[in-house]
Homo-oligomer: A and B are copies of this chain.
Amino acid sequence: MAYYLDMREHIKALEAHGKLVTVTREINKDTELMPLVRWQFRGLPNEERKAFLFENVVDAKGKRYGIPVLVAALAASREVYAIGMMCEPDKIMHKWSEARRHPFEPKIINDGPVHEEVHVGKSLLEHGGLDEFPTPISTPGFDNAPYFSAACWVTKEPGTGRVNIGTYRAMIKSATRTGIQCHYPQHLRIHWEKCRKLGKPLPAAIVMGTSPNIGYVSVAKIPYEVSEYIIAGGIAGAPVELVKCKTVDIEVPATAEIVIEGEIPTDYMEPEGPFGEMPGYMGGKMMNLYFNVSCITHRKNPICNAWISQMPPSESTVLRGMVNEASLFHFLKHDLGIPGIKDAAFHNESGSTQLCVVSLKKVDTPQVWRALHGVLALTPGHSKMVIVVDDDIDPHDIDSVVWALAYRMQPDTDIKILPRVRGAELDPSAIPPEQEKSARDALMSTMLIDATRKWAYPPLSLPAREFMEGAKKIWEELGLPALKPKVPWFGYSLGYWSKEDAEEAELALKGEHYRTGEKLAKQRVKTDSV
């Protein structure tokens, strides 16, 4: 099957996989919508999370929107993300590598459904401007407005025309004005700085409601020189089809649900916030950029979409975690060529940023520390805690990681704590909030942990594979609850096991352990000599 042409095909796929909850009852977009979806992140196991489609949305003033809202469709869970990538969950990392290796240039076409409705000039406000869309409040009780959470901002570098797509939150400030939180070194901000030096505003288009590949690349850390559109093409295995915007020199996906065109002034900035952020705390009011709308285009009967972020775990931590893992894996394995790299995990509960675990088939200690330093080299911030584990530990399973920390690591020799030299964006432990003037101020400290075995170990204290496999058959025959085996689930040698040990274990299995008992009796020693 070819890749999803638009969000509507994606919604059908979610439904076909049993990963869509359609809510037909009336839902208040400001007080009920996000809290309802939030519950699945605070009260359900990962694998039960789904996308939500709200078909009957009203607001605080009783306004009825004819426009449905789709939430958590990109990344309610790893399984939901895999549907968007059109692959199995355990192939996501490889799909990302493939997409980077086989990109497709986008194709500009003359017209597309996103231009079925064009509101510009006088008609812009006649249709309500931004009021046309049921933008939910993400954190009711604390957020100071509805914000776009799933806005993919498209801009071009002045002069070169290099395209960037990035997701930045946007406070709805009036029917034709939003905020935008975007700080250096984010790429839109680099475009903005260049425009500022030229003394002109930065043209921009907000794209919402696309085939999922656009959302995935929008949150990815793609190198500045590379257009996200060509990587999105790599995910789809075909060029992304684009149309030219009506009022700005920018191209946008032809099948997007909604596009908002306009300009980001470079001469003035405006306060924005508070808004609930991904570390789990309210982000404070800051002097940010803002955006003046010149035109809105959308499909007939458009569908709004929103991402649910804030307190981890959230759609946002899955969304960013998956691509951070893929990028790190690619970097350590292919760019650095560290031998034995097996897997990489950013834990959702750490905002998919602060706890990073890499597994590898250990060659030696220097390669372990190359991996630890490699994590720090890839980005200027995040990864407060970096752990390297052996290849028999599942880096995604925190229980497995805790077990490795408990018995494969000694704090005095295997942990190094670094001073505050890395960026601490949105980390309230780095600097008291009243001292924070911009997201750039704070630096954080880092802890690196080598949790690999340092020498030969005795075998695991688990029954050997044949016995666990045999018992699994009996388990199933007895009709006991379905098992989801965690590694390790059988015992194996880790280098320290003598021929005599193996022979005694064999005797025991034959019921001949008294022979061992007799042997041991002959090895008695006087207590005084011990």
Q: What is the CA–CA distance of A312 and B463 in the complex, to the nearest angstrom?
A: 13
A35 sits at the interface (CB 8 A):
yes
Chain A residues bordering chain B, tally (CB within 8 A): 157
**CB-CB contacts of A257-282 with B at 8 A, as 1s and 0s?**
00000000011111110101111111
Q: How far is the CB of A53 from chain B (nearest CB, A)?
A: 13
Which chain B positions have C-beta within 8 A of A110?
none
With A463-B141, A485-B42 already in contact, the answer to whether A474 and B36 are too (CB < 8 A) is yes
Which chain B positions have C-beta within 8 A of A23?
478
Chain A residues numbered 479-530 whose CB sits less than 8 Å from any CB in chain B: 480-481, 483-486, 488-489, 491, 494, 496-497, 501, 504-505, 507-511, 513-514, 516-518, 520-521, 523-527, 530
Mark the stretch among A11-19, A217-225, A402-410 that contacts chain B. A402-410
Q: How far is the CB of A523 from chain B (nearest CB, A)?
A: 5
A347 sits at the interface (CB 8 A):
yes
Q: Top 8 nearest A-B pairs by Cβ distance?
A: A141-B464, A276-B461, A43-B483, A173-B517, A35-B471, A145-B513, A144-B504, A354-B406
Please tell me if the beta carbons of B406 and A433 are within 8 angstroms of each other in the complex. no
Q: What is the CA–CA distance of A48 and B483 in the complex, to the nearest angstrom?
A: 11
A191 sits at the interface (CB 8 A):
no
Return the contact of A311 from the options B145, B398, B447, B460 (Cβ within 8 A). Answer: B460
Please tell me if the beta carbons of A59 and B511 are within 8 angstroms of each other in the complex. yes
Question: What residue of chain B has the Cβ atom nearest to residue A475's Cβ?
Answer: B39
Please tell me if the beta carbons of B467 and A527 are within 8 angstroms of each other in the complex. no
Please tell me if the beta carbons of A350 and B462 are within 8 angstroms of each other in the complex. no
Chain A residues numbered 392-436 whose CB sits less than 8 Å from any CB in chain B: 398-400, 402-403, 405-413, 415, 417-420, 427-430, 432-434
Which chain B positions have C-beta within 8 A of A32?
467, 470-471, 474
Which chain B positions have C-beta within 8 A of A496?
284, 433-434
Please tell me if the beta carbons of A402 and B350 are within 8 angstroms of each other in the complex. yes
Return the contact of A60 from the options B283, B400, B511 (Cβ within 8 A). Answer: B511
Which chain B positions have C-beta within 8 A of A467?
31-32, 35, 140-141
Please tell me if the beta carbons of B276 and A462 are within 8 angstroms of each other in the complex. yes
Q: What is the CA–CA distance of A521 and B290 in the complex, to the nearest angstrom?
A: 10
Q: What is the CA–CA distance of A528 and B330 in the complex, to the nearest angstrom?
A: 40
With A140-B463, A141-B466, A415-B417 already in contact, the answer to whether A456 and B432 are too (CB < 8 A) is yes
Please tell me if the beta carbons of B461 and A270 are within 8 angstroms of each other in the complex. no
**CB-CB contacts of A24-42 with B at 8 A, as 1s and 0s?**
0101001110111011101
- 13 other contacts beyond A269-B530, A282-B491, A428-B453, with CB at 8 A cut-off? A35-B468, A38-B471, A39-B471, A42-B489, A45-B45, A141-B467, A144-B507, A173-B514, A274-B501, A281-B494, A283-B458, A412-B418, A428-B457
Please tell me if the beta carbons of B518 and A174 are within 8 angstroms of each other in the complex. yes
A322 sits at the interface (CB 8 A):
no
**Could you show 15 A-B contacts with beta carbons less than 8 Å apart?**
A25-B478, A39-B468, A42-B468, A137-B509, A142-B459, A142-B497, A145-B504, A145-B513, A269-B524, A283-B461, A350-B402, A351-B407, A412-B445, A429-B454, A433-B496
Q: How far is the CB of A192 from chain B (nearest CB, A)?
A: 9
Q: What is the CA–CA distance of A59 and B270 in the complex, to the nearest angstrom?
A: 79
A338 sits at the interface (CB 8 A):
no
Which chain B positions have C-beta within 8 A of A5?
none
Return the contact of A44 from the options B310, B430, B483 (Cβ within 8 A). Answer: B483
Q: What is the CA–CA distance of A261 and B432 in the complex, to the nearest angstrom?
A: 65
Question: What residue of chain B has the Cβ atom nearest to residue A45's Cβ?
Answer: B45
